Amino acid sequence: MHHVFVPNEKPQRYFLVVDAEKRIGQLVERVARQFDLIPVRVHRVAMLQPTLQMYGDKLSFALVGSLSCSVDAVAVATAIQHELPDLPLIVMSCLPPEALFVDGDQDVHVFGFLPKPFRLSHLQELMIRVQEHKSHQSMVPLIA
């Protein structure tokens, strides 16, 4: 009897979760399962660059929080955007966007904002929106 290997029809879809609070990653992981997404979690500054290098081209989007008192969500978003300029970023913070993004942060382009504490339904809505955005981005016209 021969066994035939059948590859998984669905490609694995990853997204980046950056936050010092490990519980945030656990919550996000629970929601991600509903969308067949695999979270790649980063909770320390030293993990960010190697993770971006390893998963960069496989990431659908990034959910970005702070990694420490001195490395806030804007600093993390800036570092990610420098490395992966087309990756949609969703910023998480307990500060409102107008307090988070101050002079000099205008170069950071974010897809969405998730206020902490957040409702899981808000996270779900943002995940749906970013997936729709990515699918429209990857559509290539059949007739030029």
Residue 144, token pair as written in the block: 């030029």
Name the β-bridge partners of 90: 63, 112
What are the domain boundaries of the chain? 13-128
pLDDT at 142: 39
pLDDT at 68: 86
pLDDT at 105: 58
In one-letter notation, the amino acid at residue 35 is: F
- 56-76 pLDDT, tens digit per residue, is 999 999 999 998 888 889 889
pLDDT at 103: 67
CA distances from 26 to 33, 96, 103 (A): 11, 23, 33
Q: Is 76 helix (H, G, I), strand (E, B) or coil?
A: helix
* Cα-only R_g, the chain: 16
Please give the chain's pLDDT, 144 residues, in tens.
554 545 555 668 899 999 999 888 889 999 998 999 999 999 999 999 999 999 999 999 999 999 888 888 988 999 999 999 999 999 999 888 888 877 665 677 889 999 988 899 999 999 999 988 877 765 444 343
In which element (H, E) is residue 97 found?
A: helix 97-100
pLDDT at 137: 66
Q: Is 129 left (phi over 0), alpha (psi -120 to 50) or beta?
A: alpha
pLDDT at 76: 93
Asked whether the whole model's pTM tops 0.95, one would answer no
pLDDT at 134: 78
Q: Which residues contact 59 (CB under 8 A, 6 or more apart)?
A: 14, 15, 16, 40, 84, 87
The CATH code belonging to domain 13-128 is 3.40.50.2300
